[in-house]
A and B are shown apart, each in its own frame.
Chain A
């Protein structure tokens, strides 16, 4: 064990202290990312068709990617559609259809191969294997595969016997599937129900006794009950917590920034200023808008900063202040204009343009830090129903990226203008987004990525995309 005192240097982008041994940083023992797990994890869905497996797969994948765990879905139905170009009818899924069985088995093996590739060559950390996996035999194949490769396995089984829920699922996502392009709704529904029957005869649920060594969660009737067995590590624990907090009750989430602030007008970032007169106009217009929406049991959330609270005050309803919704901390750049940042910290300014997601302001935060800070907000948003979140530009970008599944590269450039409300409504496997511009003029605060992000660039090149201000 070495006991030399190595010098430390701070990485310019992330502002992380690392040992500096004569220029090479290969001796890094300190990881700055929390270790969720030490081996790749396969999440394996289990359940009859129309039990929400794909819904859960996509949602979970979106969440894991947002919190920084590279995750991908491998949907067996898609592999099958590629192998069998046109779907005729449910007979393909009959348990005695040998030819189809072979095709389906080959598809499963292909998917597993792609999963191995995702882990080995694409730095994936979690793979979600979205298929029915309803027989012990199929699950056995997956378990052996994972064991051989050193992957952890976590099963998610969805069990539902409420015919109304099942029919609603089918109408929401199945009748519009590529499989049923040329059918009308009634035909699609009828065929799909027969498809489900094909699986029922061979369906063996995860069993308390025989599967007691496996790690899994069983979700009953869309979350009224859960059975959790042998959670192995942190990431599985987080997955369980997430699954236990999501619901499918229809609702809408409204995202908006505070009204235009005094500092906005001056082109200055951060700070804790109050609303400008336009901002106050927006607040009262927002109040009318919300009233007209006639939302049942609306919760209103703000940050701890004056401008969001002033905006909420105009609504005349109860609201909750969350420190976690505070704007990104710009550290030494707080309350500066972009011109001043360019003048005082040209290198920092360039680095930010090079990697806006990971860049951390000196004595401040990065978008990556913001996402970490906002995770409890997202978790609570999942639990809630109708919510209006009045927040800030960077914060709103992070929340929006979660709902719309935007990558880390896109996130810091999402357009979240002042005086615009975004209404997000979950639909099918994603989110419908409706923008409402409330027609109250405001400055533009969106700075696009300039063409030249090099530290050697001229000031004009850096400042080209700065929006106008006083």
Chain B
């Protein structure tokens, strides 16, 4: 565990090196002649010292791709570079047109040869991603139903110094399988030319092709392997030989997700006093328009007619005032508090430009990693919000009333946005986002509650250089009093 490089060696006591604070992230690090030295260690979510290969196992329509994509999205969000490699896609590239399930028959030698080649090609790309492209986790999404295939993968990993963690999904519930097929298989490129009935029939035969040779991971025979076996969509789990921190986090995540249909509603507090004055942060109350929004929000949520809706707020006055108008119980989370702007709390952008022009420019250069002096960065926010995301995964219908930067982070998780896009996601006041999981992703509905509010979204200006003119810095500041 730990973010240590292998080439760092402990050395004897050296006179304490001078420390300098990195201007972007405000991290203290040793410097020589005023320049930062190389060996800097900061707590990143880099918790394993060799790359990890996650290998899915299971018959078709058991949720392997769903799990692969979701896990990849989560790991990337918490800062672990992860990529999925879906062997089915490689196969579609190789065999341009899918005819029928016959391709998957175990006695189809031609088919077998092609499939083996595709798996190798995918593993090759995995190797490249993990050794040359800075990847940390690769998710190898395929059936991998035979011990022989898994042995091949193990050997490959060993040769390359990767750790292996298997994720097996076992399910015999015909309703679940049928639902999977309807949700994600019918729309697959393989079945664009079939009607529903034909597609389902063919797919069921496809599954049959795998069934005879399927060797599930076994408690005894596979006791040296690291794996989690997910049974019946999470009713039961078998976890074996978890090796390190990242595998432990993966297991925890997999054990908290579910597929029960539900919706997550995200919105900001109603317009606040500081919003109208163009000031960031602080802990002010709602304006009259903000209160109007709160009332409309209450009516809107009531009309949605959700049983068992959970309502979460931050511990700041403006989100709580908003929730109070709903007239239902709510939970206050400190973790949902707005980003701490440190010395810039309650300042206008004009004042930040005036007092801290360098900071202002640095922020525009890398808004995700930039940490306010004595404050936080978006990167810090993500780490702070991780338990919120974990609990959102566990829950069903939830309304989260939060803040601009916080909402951007949560939205980036659900919509798989990168660190570069995240700080510029549009989260205007007085609109609600309704997120509903569907197929492999999330459907987003934006509902504007038709109550006027100031715009608080500042686009990245063209000139982000520290030498820029104040006007260039302030070009994109939204209007305010």
Contact = CB atoms under 8 A, between A and B. Distances in A.
Interface of A: 1-3, 5-6, 8, 10, 15-17, 19, 29-32, 34-35, 212, 224-231, 234, 237, 240-241, 244-245, 272, 274-275, 280, 283-284, 287-288, 291, 299, 301, 304-306, 309-310, 313-324, 363, 369, 372, 380, 383-384
A280 B16 contact: yes
**Ranked 5 nearest A-B pairs via Cβ:** A317-B10, A1-B327, A322-B43, A321-B42, A226-B239
B292 to A, nearest CB: 10
A17 B283 CA distance: 10
A306 B19 contact: yes
Judged by DSSP, the binding face of A is mixed
Given A241-B252, A245-B248, A8 B317 contact: yes
Contacts of B329: 29-31
Contacts of B3: 320
A90 to B, nearest CB: 33
B239 A228 contact: yes
Given A234-B391, A241-B252, 7 more contacts: A8-B321, A229-B235, A275-B16, A314-B13, A316-B14, A321-B43, A369-B334
10 contacts: A5-B324, A30-B324, A224-B240, A225-B219, A228-B239, A228-B255, A244-B239, A280-B16, A318-B41, A320-B43
Contacts of B285: 8
B230 to A, nearest CB: 10
Given A1-B298, A237-B394, A321-B43, A309 B14 contact: no
B380 to A, nearest CB: 6
B238 A227 contact: yes
B223 interface: yes
A151 B13 CA distance: 57
A380 B43 CA distance: 12
B212 to A, nearest CB: 24
Contact of B295 (A3, A8, A306, A324): A3
A2 B323 CA distance: 12
A237 B320 contact: no
Contact of B19 (A17, A301, A309, A324): A309
B92 interface: no
B1 A383 contact: yes
A237 B256 contact: yes
Residue of B2, B16, B239 contacting most chain A CB atoms (<10 Å): B16
Contacts, number: 176
Contact of A317 (B11, B291, B383): B11
B109 to A, nearest CB: 38
Contacts of A15: 315
B34 interface: no
A283 B43 contact: no
B43 A35 contact: no
A299 B334 CA distance: 30
A287 B331 contact: no
Interface in B283-331: 283, 285, 291, 294-295, 298, 302, 313, 315-317, 320-321, 323-331
Interface string B201-239: 000000000000000000100010000000000011111
B236 A230 contact: yes
Nearest to A325: B43
Contacts of B4: 318, 320
Contacts of B295: 3
B394 A318 contact: no
B321 A228 contact: no
Contact of B241 (A225, A234, A313, A380): A225
Nearest to B29: A309
Interface string B240-254: 111001001001100
B324 A29 contact: yes
A19 B248 contact: no
B320 A30 contact: yes
Given A29-B324, A229-B235, A316-B11, A234 B394 contact: yes
A241 B329 CA distance: 28
B28 interface: yes
Contact of A288 (B13, B255, B256): B13
Contact of B332 (A32, A314, A324): A32
